Chains A and B, each alone.
Chain A
Amino acid sequence: MTDEALVIRAQLGEREALAELLARWRVPVWTYVRRMLDADRADDVSQEIWLAVVRGLPRLRKPGRFTPWLFTIARRSITERLRAEYAQAEKVFLVGDSTVEDPAEAMVDRAALVSALSALPVLEREILVLFYLEDLPVEECAHICQIPAGTVKSRLNRARRLLREHLEEKGDLP
C-alpha cells in the first residue's frame, strides 16, 4: 500500500493505518534526528515529532505530500533544539555561500558520510542527511528547509566540499 493510501486511511480515523505509517517512517525520522542531535535527545525529539504528526494529520490537505510534510515537522523540532547553532550557521553560510551549479549525481560514500556528519555545521549536515540518507529529491529538500532549489544545490555543493576536506584531514581520503 502506498504512503498516500495509508495517510488517507489514517485521516479517516483508522488506527491500524496510523500504526503502520509510524512503523514505516519511525526509523527514517529517527535517523534524520539522530544525525542532527545526540543520542540522548534523539528519542525524545522523535516522540515529540510523532505527537505533532498525529495532531496535525487531520489537517494535511495533500496526503500525497506526506514525506516533505513529515520532515518539515521533524526539521522544526530539531531547529528548536539547535536554535543557536542554526543562527550561527545561517550567518556563516551567507558569507561563504557558493552559487556554483552542482550536478547532484556526484556520489558520496554512505558510510563515510555517516561517520563524518557530526563534524559539519548544522545547515550542511541537514542537507546531506535529507538528500543522501533520506534519499529525498532536491525539490522536497527545498520544501522542507524552506529555501529555493538552487540554494539546496549550492548548499549540497558546499557540504560535499566541507565533507571532503574533513575526510582528507582525517586521512580517510587519498
Chain B
Amino acid sequence: MTDEPRLSAQNMIEHLTPVLSPRTRIRAVTALVAGTTGGAFTGALWWSEPGPLPGHTHLAFAMFTTFCLAWAGYGGWLLTRRVPLFATDRLIAAWLALTASITTTAVLTTVAAQRDTATWPVLTVGGVFITTSLLLTVRAHLRRAALVRRLLELTHRENQ
C-alpha cells in the first residue's frame, strides 16, 4: 500500500494554477459584464426604435443581442462553475459592473437623445443595471469588511 501521495503540494498548486489565474477571472467578469450590459442595451435600443424597421435591421439587432447574451452566458458559467471569485475579486468585479452600467447608460442615453428617440427605455434598463451593480458593490464591501474584521479578531487573540 502506497502511504504517501504521489503529488507534492507544489504539483497540486501547479495543477490548480489555471483556475486561480487572474487572467481567467478577468476574462469571466469581462464576458459577463460586457455581455449583459451589451445585450440589455441593444434590446432596449431595438425596442425603442421609432417607426417600422426594415427586415435586415431587425436581423442585425437580433444577432447582436444574441451575440451579447451568449457572451454573458459564457461569463456566468465560468464564474459559477469554473472560476473562484474571492472577496477582493468580487469587490473589483462589482466596481467594474457599476462603472460599465453607468458609462453604458450615459452613452446610450446621449445617442438616443441625439437621434430623437425615446430615452426612457434606455434609462429604465440602465437604472435596473446601476441599482443591481450598486447593491452587488455594497454586498462585496460588507463581505470583505466582515472577513477582515474576523481575521483581525483571530490575529489579536493569537497575539494575546
Q: Chain A residues in contact with chain B, CB under 8 A? A: 1-2, 4-5, 8-13, 15, 18-19, 22-23, 26-27, 30, 34, 39, 42-43, 46-47, 50-51, 54-58, 63, 114, 118
Contact = CB atoms under 8 A, between A and B. Distances in A.
B32 to A, nearest CB: 15
A51 B151 CA distance: 24
B89 to A, nearest CB: 6
B53 interface: no
Interface of B: 1-3, 5-7, 9, 12-13, 15-16, 19-20, 81-90, 144, 147-148, 150-151, 154-155, 158
Given A4-B154, A54-B19, 13 more contacts: A2-B154, A2-B158, A8-B154, A10-B86, A12-B87, A13-B86, A26-B5, A42-B2, A43-B7, A47-B15, A50-B16, A55-B83, A56-B84
10 nearest A-B pairs in the assembled complex, by CB-CB distance = A13-B86, A13-B88, A30-B5, A23-B9, A5-B154, A39-B2, A8-B151, A43-B6, A12-B87, A55-B84
A112 to B, nearest CB: 14
Contacts of B81: 55
B158 to A, nearest CB: 7
B41 to A, nearest CB: 29
Give chain B's interface secondary structure class.
helix
27 contacts: A1-B158, A5-B151, A5-B154, A5-B158, A11-B86, A11-B87, A12-B86, A12-B87, A12-B144, A13-B87, A13-B89, A22-B12, A22-B13, A23-B9, A30-B5, A34-B1, A42-B5, A43-B7, A46-B12, A47-B15, A50-B16, A51-B15, A54-B19, A54-B20, A56-B84, A58-B90, A63-B150
Nearest to A57: B84
B151 A47 contact: no
Chain A interface mostly: helix
Nearest to A18: B20
Contacts of A54: 16, 19-20, 84
A50 B12 contact: yes
A51 B9 contact: no
Contacts of B144: 12
A30 to B, nearest CB: 4
A8 to B, nearest CB: 5
B160 to A, nearest CB: 13
A136 to B, nearest CB: 20
B88 A47 contact: no
Contacts of B2: 34, 39, 42
Contacts of B90: 58
A1 to B, nearest CB: 7
A56 B83 CA distance: 9
B150 A8 contact: yes
A58 B93 CA distance: 14
B76 to A, nearest CB: 15
A27 B82 CA distance: 25
